[in-house]
Amino acid sequence: MNEHDKQTLTSSDPLGLRELDMVEPGYDGWSQIESALETHKTGKRRWQRHGAWLAVAASLVLVISVAVFNTQRTSIELSSPEFATPVVNPASVTMKDNINALIGLSQSMEEQVTQLRMETGSMPAESAIYVAELEDLIAQVDSGLSVTPDSIDLWGQRVNLMLDLAQIYQQQWEIDYGRMASL
């Protein structure tokens, strides 16, 4: 090696690192970390899916139980031996209480969706399309409620749709929060 080659070699490697022996890096455990992260993500997605179905199931149970209770209440009033003629009062206290409970739940869900909408950032196109469809369905139910405001079925549908809408915003909020927490 001539003097010019040595000078070029030392100028491009001033610390002389090329003269060091090659060393294999030690065990870093990255595969275990990656596996644990993937397991956590899968578990979180599974929990979110189960949570959504649980919310839908709970709202269906609420609507069905209200409808069954009202049906039983009406049949009891029809077969009551106290009156000579069966009297059915569709605006009974029980029916009004059930409708008022559904209206209160609907208003509560509306406030929750508004809050989640403000806290949620952008969302994927698929979710935005689903949100738009749910909001269209809610508008249709609201149109029906403007004609028949005492319809327990329509109020139940509105609550179910609001639960679905809240679930979408909640999932997106959790995704956004997870991104912020990982920074």
59-102 residue pLDDT tens? 777 767 766 666 655 554 444 444 444 444 444 445 666 888 88
Q: Is 169 exposed, middle or buried (0-12, 13-18, 19+ CB in 10 A)?
A: buried
Read off the tokens for 53. Answer: 């179905």
Range from 38-47, 50-59, 64-73 that averages highest in pLDDT: 38-47
* Predicted pLDDT at 4: 59
pLDDT at 155 over 80: yes
pTM here?
A: 0.47
Which phi and psi (to 5°) does residue 157 adopt?
A: -65, -40
Q: Quick check: 59 and 160 in contact, CB under 8 A?
A: yes
161, 56 in Cβ contact below 8 A? no
